[in-house]
């Protein structure tokens, strides 16, 4: 990076020489060039990109779940008619769960050093370690179950004979799914906790 900056200064006119050298020095000493090189490197940064997307998407999942649950319980107990909006929110919850699970699989199988360099290397040791067991076993299983429950609830609601049964099916299945999601989230106060929000 420094060589590139020096090469640029040599090709510049004499009037801009000092200004370009000064800018290059600022960028180098601030670490900006090193960070930019890291961000632009696709392989080294893929893990961070998927991890951030996985972290942020969970809030969309939770929001969709809460709205779908509100509409399901309201429709169930108030005996309201099933609407296209109910169907859309159910599908949004189920499909956002699918997207979240796909990101999780990418992390689990290919990108995360916790699994690729830990869980897959010595499974016996993982079972004895609380943190490794959560990431290697518990988090994966509970999220898989929550995805299944979300899609079961969506499918049952779509196929139910009456509007009340549609709301009831969505309410029950989505409640179980959301409970599993909340249990499997690595809240910051837990021993295996992670930040609530990640950014690029």
The string of pLDDT tens digits covering residues 122-173 is 777 778 889 889 998 999 999 999 999 999 999 999 999 999 999 999 999 9
Q: Which pLDDT score, from 0 to 100, does residue 45 have?
A: 83
Q: d(Cα 157, Cα 161) in Å, to the nearest integer?
A: 9
Neighbours of 1 (CB within 10 A): 13
End-to-end CA distance of the chain: 22
- The region, left, alpha or beta by phi > 0 then psi within -120 to 50, assigned to residue 79 is left
Instruction: Clarify whether residues 132 and 60 are in a common domain.
Output: yes
Q: Which pLDDT score, from 0 to 100, does residue 41 have?
A: 52
Instruction: Clarify whether residues 21 and 84 are in a common domain.
Output: no
Q: Which pLDDT score, from 0 to 100, does residue 190 have?
A: 95
Q: Which pLDDT score, from 0 to 100, does residue 123 have?
A: 73
Instruction: Clarify whether residues 24 and 97 are in a common domain.
Output: no
Instruction: Clarify whether residues 171 and 105 are in a common domain.
Output: yes
Name the stretches of the chain with pLDDT < 70.
1-44
Q: Which pLDDT score, from 0 to 100, does residue 23 have?
A: 57
Residue 197 lies in a domain: no
C-beta separation of 176 from 149 below 8 A = yes
Q: Which pLDDT score, from 0 to 100, does residue 37 have?
A: 44
CA atoms within 13 A on the CB side of 136: 21
Instruction: Clarify whether residues 48 and 20 are in a common domain.
Output: no
Q: d(Cα 163, Cα 77) in Å, to the nearest integer?
A: 11
Q: d(Cα 58, Cα 56) in Å, to the nearest integer?
A: 5
Neighbours of 158 (CB within 10 A): 14
Residue 196 lies in a domain: no
Domain range spanning residue 15?
2-35
Q: Which pLDDT score, from 0 to 100, does residue 120 have?
A: 74
Q: What is the DSSP letter of 110?
A: I
User: How many domains in the chain?
Assistant: 2
Rounded to the nearest 10 degrees, what angle do helices 139-159 and 163-184 cross at?
Answer: 170
Residue 199 lies in a domain: no
Instruction: Clarify whether residues 58 and 108 are in a common domain.
Output: yes
Q: Which pLDDT score, from 0 to 100, does residue 113 have?
A: 87
Instruction: Clarify whether residues 92 and 17 are in a common domain.
Output: no
Instruction: Clarify whether residues 121 and 178 are in a common domain.
Output: yes
Q: d(Cα 51, Cα 156) in Å, to the nearest integer?
A: 32
Q: d(Cα 130, Cα 66) in Å, to the nearest integer?
A: 30
């Amino acid at each position: 990076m420094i060589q590139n900056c020096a090469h640029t200064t040599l090709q510049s006119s004499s009037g801009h020489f000092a200004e370009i050298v000064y800018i290059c020095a600022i960028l180098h000493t601030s670490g900006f060039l090193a960070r930019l090189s890291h961000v632009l490197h696709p392989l080294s940064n893929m893990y961070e990109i998927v991890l951030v997307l996985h972290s942020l998407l969970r809030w969309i999942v939770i929001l969709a779940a809460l709205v779908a649950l509100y509409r399901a319980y309201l429709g169930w107990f108030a005996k309201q008619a099933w609407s296209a909006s109910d169907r859309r929110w159910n599908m949004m919850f189920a499909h956002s769960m699918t997207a979240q699970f796909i990101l999780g699989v990418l992390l689990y199988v290919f990108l995360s050093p916790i699994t690729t360099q830990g869980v897959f290397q010595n499974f016996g040791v993982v079972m004895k370690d609380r943190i490794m067991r959560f990431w290697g076993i518990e988090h994966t299983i509970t999220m898989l179950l929550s995805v299944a429950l979300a899609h079961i609830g969506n499918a049952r609601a779509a196929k139910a004979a009456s509007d009340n049964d549609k709301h009831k099916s969505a309410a029950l299945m989505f409640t179980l799914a959301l409970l599993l999601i909340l249990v499997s989230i690595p809240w910051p106060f837990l021993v295996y906790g992670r930040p609530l929000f990640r950014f690029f």
